[in-house]
A and B are shown apart, each in its own frame.
Chain A
Amino acid sequence: MAPVRYATLDAGRPYWGLLVVLAGLLGLGFLGFLHLEHEGHWITGMNNQIVWGIPHVFAVFLIVAASGALNVASIASVFGRTDYKPLARLSGLLAAALLIGGLAILVLDLGRPDRLIVAMTYYNFKSIFAWNIFLYTGLLAVIALYLWVQFQPALERHVRAAGILALLWRLVLTTGTGAIFGFLVARQGYDAAIMAPLFIIMSFSYGTAVFLLVLEVTCRAAGRPLGDALPRQIKNLLGVFVSAVLYFVLAYHLTNLYATEHHDFEAFILNFDSLYSKIFWLGQVGLGSLVPLALFYGPKTRNCRSSAMVGAALVILGGMFQLYVIIIGGQAFPLVMFPGMIESSSFFDGVVASYIPSVWEFMLGFTGILISLIALIAGMGALGFLPEDLSDPAEAG
């Protein structure tokens, strides 16, 4: 196999123009953050019932997708699929960029973001949240190491070891992210061990979808030849992950449906009456899973690269819907203190909590995405992350 030649993105006017536009939008997002910080969270849709809102949907999506964006690198260096190897660097860069964006949202949404130093110096090791702080920042360090050994031909022999470390680390990381919800014993929608593996498989799905889109768009924009074989393989793999997410979601709901104590919550999510139920069926299952699967495997579209891109975009959208249902739906359902009784109070006990996301929250979410995009584009402009030619072997020969 001929050595892969990597090249930085052409730092011409379009490149810098794009970065300037993104930086301008990021500046707007930062102004939004300052306004939120100045006024307090009352200007958002979040309240004492829905304490985590749209910013957390964006943040968790980016963090989970970051873990999954490393799939391609893992396949190349851990599982020995050399055809994926040219994409391993991009896989690492994308994972780091997504992670930074997700973490930025989490920090900017804190009630006291000025106390970041407190979060880094005071730890309660019984808290899965505290462990996640280490897991998230640790993954950045692991990715840096992983990329370093990939960039140094002399360190080639260490790539597999670094790849194994990264794979194990991200499995633990997504387990920890799922456990944030799985460990919440008091809430009807959480308190489930399946949250950990569910989040792992969600990360595979979201991260692979983002990677496929980034690969296609970047190669087209940068004029790098990209054959059909790799995108097709990644697309087929994505289909498997989307199906696996559906399986875990099915197992979660079937388990709940078996237990009478969870019937009210299941009705809330499944019976098509609530907004969350509609988002679940139409957004997560329909648009975000079944339509992409039809595009990936349907006889008329399975060989169409554009259909695969549309499918990947829908998987991303479906992932956001899924996290909306998990994070916000799980809080909106009234906390049960007296099972079987009817509760009411001035603090909205016994009623479905209302949540109308504000523009400030969306600005925070998009700020995270912008940070990820800027990190990704700046990275590709600075170092050779993207191969010069990704044509299929026969074409390239």
Chain B
Amino acid sequence: MNFDPQRREFLKGATAVSTMTLAPGVMLYARAPDEPVTGAVRWGMLIDTRLCQEDCHACVDACNTEHNLQDLGRPETDAQWIRKLNVRDPLTERSVSMPMMCQHCEHPPCEDVCPTGASFRRADGIVLVDKHTCIGCRYCMMACPYKARSFIHENLDEQLPHAPRGKGCVESCTLCVHRQDDNDHTTACADACQSDGHKANLFGDLNDSNSEISQRIREFGATQFRADLRLNTGVRYQGLF
């Protein structure tokens, strides 16, 4: 791939400019296309279950549209990158609803068990599957504590360039990595939740202490699913039990 040197210089300059603090608590991060991903950022998500409505599936619908995940009428084999999980305490009858997806662990069990290294974690915290080296053994699905992964059981058509998918490979939430690589630091699910008015889903940089996500976690605390496994998840939850 050839890069226009002038464009590269412009982007480098833009990066420097855009990482300035624009306002208290608002920091923009940008990366040129040829710049490697670094650990300077750690993308993550904060779900406030007190704001998440049980009958709302806007995040799921947005993800399905963004990545062209189709309902083939076979719920047991259809791919689900994000799902609404309802949890009820049988003692108190307290019920909580929340989106559940890949938790983008710092120490992902899927990465540990993958024989070919196809499951991997980017420096910016996004856990992905390399579709070129996934052999479809599904051991990562056995290992994931969150049931976050789907195996593609059939031929797919109408592929989207930013979300290539293929029969015989495993896939899961990418934290809309194509958007991050385009310096559009949102996700389809978080956008949908915001525009739907619930504002239960917040995406951001966990490494930036001034980011809204970091501030809210610092102020109110947040919980990791299966924190006992010490995976240091990138997705955190508020308002759990």
Which residues of A pack against B, CB within 8 Å?
A: 39-42, 47-49, 51-52, 110-113, 115-116, 118-119, 122-124, 126-130, 133, 180, 183-187, 331, 335, 337-338, 340-349, 354
Contacts and interface: CB of A to CB of B under 8 A. Distances in A.
Q: Say whether chain B's binding surface is mostly helix, strand, loop, or mixed.
A: loop
Contacts of B89: 340-342
A342 B74 contact: no
Given A41-B77, A47-B76, A119-B116, A349 B85 contact: yes
B154 A124 contact: no
A331 B77 contact: no
Interface of B: 72, 74-80, 83-90, 100, 109, 111-118, 132-139, 141-147, 149-155, 167-170, 225-226, 229, 241
Contacts of B109: 184-186
Given A40-B167, A111-B134, A354-B76, A345 B115 contact: no
Given A111-B136, A124-B116, A126-B112, A40 B168 contact: yes
B86 A111 contact: no
A45 to B, nearest CB: 9
Given A112-B134, A342-B87, A129 B145 contact: no
Contacts, number: 169
A115 B142 CA distance: 20
Contacts of B168: 40-41, 110-112
Given A51-B138, A51-B142, A338-B87, 6 more contacts: A39-B154, A42-B74, A111-B168, A129-B115, A338-B241, A345-B100
Given A119-B116, A342-B88, A111 B142 contact: no
Nearest to B154: A40
A52 B75 CA distance: 17
A40 B116 CA distance: 21
B133 A40 contact: no
A124 B114 contact: yes
Contacts of A123: 115-117
Contacts of B88: 341-342, 344
A356 B57 CA distance: 30
B139 A111 contact: no
A110 B135 contact: yes
A191 to B, nearest CB: 10
Contacts of B169: 111-112
Contacts of B75: 346, 348
